Amino acid sequence: MEKFDAVVVGAGPAGAAAAMTMARAGLSVVLLERGEFPGAKNLFGGVLYRRQLEDILPDEWQNAPVERQIIEQNLWIMGKDAVTKLGHRNEAFKSPNCWTGMRVKFDQWFAERAVAAGALPVYETVATELIREGGKVVGVRTDREHGDLYADVVVIADGVNSLLGKALGVHQEWQPDQVSLAVKEQIFLPKEKILDRFNLEGDEGATIEFVGETSGGMTGLGFLYTNKESISLGIGVMVSDLKRTRVKPYQLLEQAKQHPAIRRLIQGGETKEYAGHLIPEGGLKAVPQLSGDGWVICGDAAQLVNFVHREGTNLAMTSGRYAGETIIAAKQKGDYSRAALSHYDRQVAASFIRKDLKKYQGLHGLLNEIDPKLLFSQLPKAVNEAAFEMLNVDGRTKAEKQRFAINHIKETAGGTWDLLKLGWKGWRAIN
């Protein structure tokens, strides 16, 4: 029976980062992936971040297959036929800060770095269960004949649906208010049209996130990202809201495409790809214990996603790297117990991963407490109506208009006191 130092389940950003880190230190590592190749089954918005990629690949990050370097990020508050825009554009983001990317290309390239470092790729193979002996995890069973793989540590990086995490009992089936379901279309357009429509040059890119009437009164967010020759347009809504309303996410996407501000950006484009995927949005409270005897869990499988800032791949890469570093140290001591591997939990706790999730830990509760219709439909509508009133020159005095705008937003929230309470709760939830 061949035994490895580590078996990594899942060749997404978390698993590949863990495998790369360990293989570089000379550990024997299997990188297991159910897809035909890494990225074949993966979907995101999506934005990739330089800093955490550079931490792992200081000499190679420049070669990452990315689409556009993002120099402008926007948040749109959507009314039915209106939009109020907030945004920031800065040449300093050319350092670069982040890019748009395609998982099918990026994951393949990223996992290839792990393989180049010495990890053994085993693709088109599904890990079906964990093998345990005396309370310890000692390997994984796969769907291949004689496919048991033994290792000192199993790295569970199998994404949001984490079969292995559930089997281990570190977490239950995610609750409908802990995950959102997002659908995304890739709409192809000539490069020149993208540059013109988004006021870009060369390989510059822009992102737009949109909230408001486009999510049909449900807790959700849409996104529109520029790629080289396509636009990624998607919308994600909490599964609990979808269950309650019985609305299908693709219906929301179809409606969003008709919004005048979006329609003009995508018109003439050809939709070639359409897919859906869950996003972990349970926040800090949903993050399970991250290690045990013979195992660690990383990335989406452990709910390590900062949904406020649409950061997931970078948390996945960093958690994978920490897991790898912990296993390297465990090998030096010959100790793969929970006590030794919990160093990984402490690394995550001391890093931006836990600290950022902690910062927003109140938000999940707040979103459950407040009627999503108020936050995601009525208030955005009122903000757009107030903006219209302020800017529409119709002979009424500016003082009248200002009074209308303020009163309209206050009344929508249920009165001055309710608006102040909402603002205070919102502030507390993110601080």
Per-residue binding string, ligand FAD, 209-228, x by CB under 6 A, is --------------------
Beta-carbon contacts of 306 under 8 Å, excluding residues fewer than 6 positions away, are 312, 315, 356, 357, 360
324 and 5 Cβ atoms separated by less than 8 Å: no
Which residue number, 213 or 300, has a Cβ lying nearer to ligand FAD? 300
Smallest distance, ligand FAD to C-beta of residue 109, A? 14
**CB-CB contact of 207 with 225 (8 Å):** yes
The residue assigned the tokens 């495409």 is 257
Cβ distance to ligand FAD smaller for residue 60 or 209: 209
Residues 391-420 that bind ligand FAD (CB under 6 A): none
C-alpha distances in Å from residue 220, one per residue of 215, 234, 307: 6, 11, 11
Stretch that binds ligand FAD, among 88-96, 196-204, 243-251, 312-320 (CB under 6 A): 312-320
CA 299 to chain centre: 10
Q: Look up residue 352 and give its two tokens.
A: 């931006």
Q: Nearest distance from residue 173's CB to ligand FAD, in Å?
A: 15
Q: Which of 4, 6, 10, 412 binds ligand FAD (CB under 6 A)?
A: 10
> Does residue number 111 form part of the binding site for ligand FAD (CB under 6 A)?
no
Q: Under the criterion CB under 6 A, does residue 42 sit at the interface with ligand FAD?
A: yes
Within 151-170, which residues bind ligand FAD (CB under 6 A)? 157-159, 163
User: Which residue, among 96, 67, 54, 119, has the nearest Cα to 324 in the 3D structure?
Assistant: 119
Residues in the chain: 431
Residue 249 within binding range of ligand FAD, rule CB under 6 A: no
End-to-end, the C-alpha distance of the chain in Å comes to 52
12 forms part of the interface with ligand FAD (CB under 6 A): yes
CA dihedral for 373, 377, 379, 382, sign (positive or negative) = negative
Tokens of 111: 């996992």
- The least CB distance from residue 300 to ligand FAD, in Å, is 4
Q: Which of 234, 269, 294, 380 binds ligand FAD (CB under 6 A)?
A: 234
Please give the structure tokens belonging to residue 331.
């090998």
Positions touching ligand FAD (CB under 6 A) are 9-15, 32-35, 38, 41-47, 126-127, 157-159, 163, 182, 184, 234, 236, 277, 279, 299-301, 305, 310-314, 316
